[in-house]
Chain A
Amino acid sequence: MDQLLFAVSTIIVGVFGCVAYFYFSNIILDRVYPASGPNAGANINKANAIRPWLFVLPALLVLGLYLVYPVFSTFFLSMRDARGTFVGADNYTWLAGDDKFRESLGNNLLWLVIVPAASTFFGLVAAGLTDRIKWGSVAQSLIFMPMAISFVGASVIWKFIYDYRGENQGEQIGLLNAMVEAMGGTAQTWITLPFWNNIFLMIILIWIQTGFAMVILSAALKGISEETIEAAYLDGATPLQIFFKIKIPQIWGTIAVVWTTITVTVLKVFDIVFAMTNGQWGTQVLANLMYDWMFRGTPDFGRGSAIVMVIMLLVTPVMIWNISNAHKENR
């Protein structure tokens, strides 16, 4: 309970501190450059030039310290070894030859291809179908729900589905193995099955992200003007033709946004792999590998940082694309 009091008092101090900062900094600014007296005009201009910076300053400080500075710091750390000595590009050449890193990079690329594609596809199907029925919004809620579940919770849910019982351990209690046996197949330890175990981990993220894709694509589908659809219908187009030839081309932009958003999530995937396999049996990914180098018995911050820089590099194209899009929008 002490702890919650601590949390609540932090909120009060934090919120009060913020409000006090904004309030008093504005008052001080008005005192220093009063909007009256001989220099009123000049003062107002000066105050107006400074005030926006008072408003953005706390945010900029926090962002600078917690996101911008670390990018550079990590970059410099990636050129040092475990003891902090400068080693140039050694960590990167080590990475290039390291089997675990290659495995992680390969897996990450696999995730990158499969998860965004599958999530967007299922999201599009779900959005297209639920738009047409009465209980569509209920169905959407239920498909969307995994978004609220933590990756760890989702991992527990799916680990139970993939559960395996050996020959003398009684009947299968994992849904997947029970179904496989019911259809005459042999139960498997899915999580250790080389290569395919990656797919089984990806299914968890697809299960979570489909709802996200569906919600956004469904809104985009609703935004399409009725006229084009009606015109196509009058020309004798079937519902499927309307969906693929009229609707989809009009929401390409949104599909691209959904795809890239999921791509970024996938690049950073950690929790699922950590909870399901911890990178064993050929399922290692970059984020988990980095965590491993950071917290193993003798941590190597240099190698860890080099792995992070690889993730950063992979994210950069999306970042540039986002910035240019936002820039176009604001113009």
Chain B
Amino acid sequence: MEMAGTKSRLTWAVNLAVGFLVLLWIIPTFGLLISSFRDRDAISTSGWWTALSASEQNVIVRADVPDNAVQEGQVWVVSGNVFDSGAGDVTAFGITSRAPEAFAPGEVAVHANGHEITVGANGDYRIAYAEQPSGSRGQRLFVRAESPPSFTLDNYREVLFAEGMGKALLNTLTVTIPATIIPILVAAFAAYALAWMEMPGRALLIAGIVGLLVVPLQVAFIPLLKLHNNIGIGKGYIGIWLAHTGFGLPLAVFLLRNYMAGLPGEIIESARVDGASDFAIFRKIILPLSFPALASFAIFQFLWVWNDLLVAKVFLGTGEDQVVMTGRIVDLLGSRGGDWEILAASAFVSIAVPIAVFFSLQRYLVRGLLAGSVKGG
């Protein structure tokens, strides 16, 4: 449709622009994800963007003490490895602070006192003395080393088992599952009635539900907390399930009604003519046909409840057995503010499930968004 020359140039520009935009959008998440696998020291001493390439560092180590030298033929030898743990590549070494990179790995450095020192590329060092040495201070070795990127799962282990995220994950699940499933059923029946049954005041009810879609949840907190306390539910799971059900219903009824109203009327009419009751029509025709809309709402509600902080803060207690993941993370932001290894891993424990849901069910999510905002306004 477009002319070749301008088209290819334009396509290039568009591809670049989109590439830039995508990078801009994923780098924040990516940075924290990488950090969640780095160990504490690495995070606090270098930016996460250095984690993917081998890092060069200068280290000073002390060799084993001369007292521990063992005789090997004519000479006395002290040996060991300059890396305490893991591996690395020595690129240079030295024996004085004035010339810390004087020798290449494998070369022999001769100390002023006569002993010969060599450090191999793998970090093995060997110090040979002509006579049995004594002393309790090891030779200082200056090593320039390249260590490969190293990643660990320790942060996840720590947040799940020591920092309370494991229990919080369980609490989040406890809140989310009933709060996702129960509103669907209540909403589906109401949506059917509002879409396909003759009733006075139907338009008014629909308008009311559209209005309730944007009511700020904050209005509900104080009256409902009082109500829950008065009827003896207090702060706890029953209260938050009811609250999430109530807060999710406007969207549920709205989405489902719009979808059901779009189903072909002939099917429903002919079933009525055949003598099917409304209950049977709902169960056998409407419910199966509305699956995409039910799925859309289920995903919305799931993401919303799983990610919610405010409703949980208001309707749940602050005890270990009721704090959800978002609440726990906010606590950690306060108490472990600078400990990024803890924060990063905690964040990803809570992000993992919604992201998985998002990528596997994105189709329904998009469909729901479109139905929810474009059609109804």
Interface residues of A (CB under 8 A from B): 1, 3-4, 6-8, 10-11, 14-15, 18-19, 22-23, 26, 30, 48-49, 51-53, 55-56, 58-60, 62-63, 65-71, 73-74, 77, 122, 125-126, 129-130, 132-133, 135-136, 139, 141-153, 155-161, 163, 170-175, 178, 207, 210-212, 215-216, 219-220, 230, 233, 239, 254, 257-258, 261, 264, 267-268, 270-271, 274-275, 287, 290-291, 294, 301, 304-305, 308-309, 311-312, 315, 318-319, 321-323, 325-327, 329-330
Q: Knowing A143-B21, A173-B43, A215-B369, say if A271 contacts B326 (CB, 8 Å).
A: yes
**Measured between alpha carbons, how far is A54 from B345 in the docked complex, in Å?**
48
Contact A319 B214, beta carbon cutoff 8 Å:
yes
Which A residues are CB-close (under 8 A) to B329?
152-153, 156, 275
Which B residues are CB-close (under 8 A) to A290?
218
**Measured between alpha carbons, how far is A30 from B307 in the docked complex, in Å?**
44
Which A residues are CB-close (under 8 A) to B197?
48, 51-52, 55
A8, closest chain B residue (CB): B177
Contact A148 B11, beta carbon cutoff 8 Å:
no
List 23 contacting pairs A-B, 8 Å CB cutoff, sorted by A: A3-B174, A7-B173, A15-B181, A51-B197, A56-B193, A59-B190, A66-B224, A66-B245, A67-B249, A70-B224, A74-B223, A145-B26, A157-B28, A157-B31, A159-B343, A170-B45, A216-B370, A219-B366, A257-B377, A267-B216, A290-B218, A294-B222, A327-B203
Which A residues are CB-close (under 8 A) to B18?
126, 129-130, 133, 135-136, 139
Residue from the set A71, A129, A141 with the largest chain B CB neighbour count within 10 Å: A129
Known pairs A150-B326, A160-B32. 7 more at Cβ < 8 A? A26-B277, A48-B198, A59-B189, A62-B249, A122-B21, A153-B350, A161-B28
Which B residues are CB-close (under 8 A) to A49?
199
B32–chain A nearest beta-carbon distance, Å: 5
The answer to whether B58 has its CB under 8 Å from any CB of chain A is no
Which B residues are CB-close (under 8 A) to A8?
177
Q: Knowing A56-B194, A308-B218, A327-B203, say if A151 contacts B32 (CB, 8 Å).
A: no
| Per-position binary interface string of chain B over residues 4-15, scored 1 when its CB falls under 8 Å from any chain A CB and 0 otherwise | 000000110011
The answer to whether B205 has its CB under 8 Å from any CB of chain A is yes
Which A residues are CB-close (under 8 A) to B22?
139, 142-143
Contact A146 B47, beta carbon cutoff 8 Å:
no
Contact A149 B178, beta carbon cutoff 8 Å:
no
Contact B178 A173, beta carbon cutoff 8 Å:
no
Q: Knowing A149-B351, A161-B31, say if A326 contacts B206 (CB, 8 Å).
A: yes
**Measured between alpha carbons, how far is A219 from B370 in the docked complex, in Å?**
8
A229, closest chain B residue (CB): B1
**Measured between alpha carbons, how far is A270 from B25 in the docked complex, in Å?**
22
B24–chain A nearest beta-carbon distance, Å: 9
Which B residues are CB-close (under 8 A) to A56?
189-190, 193-194, 199, 205
Contact A6 B343, beta carbon cutoff 8 Å:
no
The answer to whether B142 has its CB under 8 Å from any CB of chain A is no
**Measured between alpha carbons, how far is A287 from B29 in the docked complex, in Å?**
26
Q: From the candidates A19, A144, A160, A268, name the one contacting B218 in the complex (CB within 8 A).
A: A268
Residue from the set B202, B216, B242 with the largest chain A CB neighbour count within 10 Å: B216
**Measured between alpha carbons, how far is A144 from B44 in the docked complex, in Å?**
30
Contact A71 B215, beta carbon cutoff 8 Å:
yes
| Per-position binary interface string of chain B over residues 324-360, scored 1 when its CB falls under 8 Å from any chain A CB and 0 otherwise | 0010011001000000100110110011001101110
B306–chain A nearest beta-carbon distance, Å: 7
The answer to whether B76 has its CB under 8 Å from any CB of chain A is no
B320–chain A nearest beta-carbon distance, Å: 11
Q: Which of B128-181 contact A (CB under 8 A)?
A: 170-171, 173-175, 177-178, 181
Residue from the set A10, A258, A267, A304 with the largest chain B CB neighbour count within 10 Å: A10
A119–chain B nearest beta-carbon distance, Å: 12
Q: From the candidates A4, A52, A67, A147, name the one contacting B212 in the complex (CB within 8 A).
A: A67
B243–chain A nearest beta-carbon distance, Å: 6
Q: Knowing A55-B190, A220-B374, say if A271 contacts B310 (CB, 8 Å).
A: yes
A138–chain B nearest beta-carbon distance, Å: 8
A241–chain B nearest beta-carbon distance, Å: 13
Q: From the candidates B14, B32, B175, B326, name the one contacting A132 in the complex (CB within 8 A).
A: B14
Q: From the candidates B43, B210, B249, name the one contacting A59 in the complex (CB within 8 A).
A: B249
Contact B343 A156, beta carbon cutoff 8 Å:
yes
Residue from the set A55, A207, A267 with the largest chain B CB neighbour count within 10 Å: A55
| Closest CB pairs A-B (n = 4) | A66-B246, A150-B307, A325-B377, A59-B190
Which A residues are CB-close (under 8 A) to B202?
52
Contact A149 B218, beta carbon cutoff 8 Å:
no
Contact B223 A69, beta carbon cutoff 8 Å:
yes
Contact B359 A141, beta carbon cutoff 8 Å:
yes
Q: From the candidates B21, B247, B307, B313, name the one contacting A125 in the complex (CB within 8 A).
A: B21
Q: From the candidates B177, B216, B246, B321, name the one contacting A62 in the complex (CB within 8 A).
A: B246
Contact A148 B186, beta carbon cutoff 8 Å:
no
Q: From the candidates A135, A149, A215, name the one contacting B366 in the complex (CB within 8 A).
A: A215
Contact B354 A325, beta carbon cutoff 8 Å:
no
The answer to whether B187 has its CB under 8 Å from any CB of chain A is yes
The answer to whether B376 has its CB under 8 Å from any CB of chain A is yes
**Measured between alpha carbons, how far is A239 from B1 in the docked complex, in Å?**
12
Q: From the candidates B35, B174, B217, B326, name the one contacting A4 in the complex (CB within 8 A).
A: B174
B275–chain A nearest beta-carbon distance, Å: 9
Residue from the set B25, B203, B217, B375 with the largest chain A CB neighbour count within 10 Å: B25
Contact B344 A329, beta carbon cutoff 8 Å:
no
The answer to whether B125 has its CB under 8 Å from any CB of chain A is no
A11–chain B nearest beta-carbon distance, Å: 5
Contact A322 B218, beta carbon cutoff 8 Å:
no
The answer to whether B57 has its CB under 8 Å from any CB of chain A is no
Q: From the candidates B173, B223, B362, name the one contacting A77 in the complex (CB within 8 A).
A: B223
Q: From the candidates A4, A67, A219, A254, name the one contacting B247 in the complex (CB within 8 A).
A: A67
The answer to whether B109 has its CB under 8 Å from any CB of chain A is no
Contact A11 B215, beta carbon cutoff 8 Å:
no
Q: Knowing A141-B359, A142-B22, say if A274 contacts B43 (CB, 8 Å).
A: no
The answer to whether B264 has its CB under 8 Å from any CB of chain A is no
Q: From the candidates A122, A139, A159, A287, name the one contacting B333 in the complex (CB within 8 A).
A: A159
